[in-house]
Amino acid sequence: MRDLEDPAGAPPPGSADPAGEPVTVPPDELSEDLLRRVIESFVLREGTDYGEQEVCLESKVAAVVRQLQRGEALIIFDPGSESIDIVTVAPGKRRSSRR
């Protein structure tokens, strides 16, 4: 995962930015199926390293879900490239999504 420097400077979640700047997408705004597909796409990318031990897909997905819930990762949509990514948040910039 890449580090996200300043998520606080991003436009409000779910808002379209006419300049084409990336926007944060809250996980709860995606259907359960779409969220799972976004996470699976992320964890199945070539080059994702989980160490020497093999980790099953379910464990990888669950780990990313936990990171999203704890505010350690964000879903980012880039309208310019029409792509979606999951990025880690620097520890001092984290926002919890727990209520």
CA angle 40, 45, 50 (to 5 degrees): 90
Q: Could you tell me whether strands 23-25 and 3-4 are parallel, antiparallel, or unpaired per DSSP bridges?
A: unpaired
| Residue whose C-alpha is closest to residue 74's, from 20, 30, 32 | 30
pLDDT at 68 exceeding the cut of 60: yes
Mean of the pLDDT values across residues 47-71? Answer: 84
Q: Tell if the pTM clears 0.75, that is, is over it.
A: no
Quote the CA–CA distance of 88 and 64 in Å, as a whole number: 10
Q: What is the dihedral of CA 26, 11, 79, 46, to 10 degrees?
A: -50
Q: What architecture does CATH give domain 3-9+19-93?
A: Orthogonal Bundle (1.10)
pLDDT digits (tens, 9 = 90+) for 43-55: 988 665 666 777 8
| pLDDT per residue as tens digits for the range 8-43 | 455 555 555 555 899 999 999 999 999 999 999 999
> β-strand 73-78 against 23-25: which pairing, if any?
antiparallel
- Other Cβ atoms within 10 Å of 74 Cβ, number: 26
